[in-house]
Amino acid sequence: MTVSFTCILFLAVLLFLMGTACVMTRKNLFMILIGAEIMLNSAGIAFAAAAMHWQDLHGQVMVLFIMTAAAAEIAVALALIVCIQRRTGSVSADHYNLLKG
C-alpha cells in the first residue's frame, strides 16, 4: 500500500481528537468510556502505521499491549460503573458528589 505515513497519522489524530471531545463533553459514564476506547484505538492505528513505515514489528507488538490494557481498563471501569450505580441509581457523572469534601 502506498498511502503516505502522514495521511494515516492524520486519520489517527482525527480519531484521537474525536475521542478527546467525547470524553470532555459527555456526562454519561458509558459515553466517557467509549471516548477512551476511541482514543486507545487511534493510538493503535498510529502504532501499526509506524510499524509499516519503519518496517519494524515492535509497533505491532505495542498494539497488542494497548489492546490488553484497554480490555483490563474496560473490565474494571464497567465493574466500577455497576458498583456506583447500585449506590446512587445513576450513570451520570453529575450525581457522583457523595464524598462531600
Give, as ranges, the residues between 4 and 33 that touch another protein (CB under 8 A).
5-6, 8-11, 13-22, 24-28, 30-31, 33
**Closest by CA position to 49, among listed 24, 21, 88, 12:** 12
d(CA 97, CA 85): 13
Q: Which of residues 58-87 bind another protein (CB under 8 A)?
A: 58, 60-61, 63-65, 67-76, 78-83, 85-87
How near is the Cβ of 81 to another protein at its closest, in Å?
Answer: 7
Would you count residue 101 as binding another protein (CB under 8 A)?
no
Would you count residue 99 as binding another protein (CB under 8 A)?
no
Measured from the CB atom, the residue of 86 and 101 that comes closer to another protein is 86
Would you count residue 38 as binding another protein (CB under 8 A)?
yes
Contacts with 51 (C-beta within 8 Å, 6 or more apart), sequence order: 57, 58, 59, 60, 63
d(CA 10, CA 4): 10
The count of residues in the chain is 101
Would you count residue 36 as binding another protein (CB under 8 A)?
no
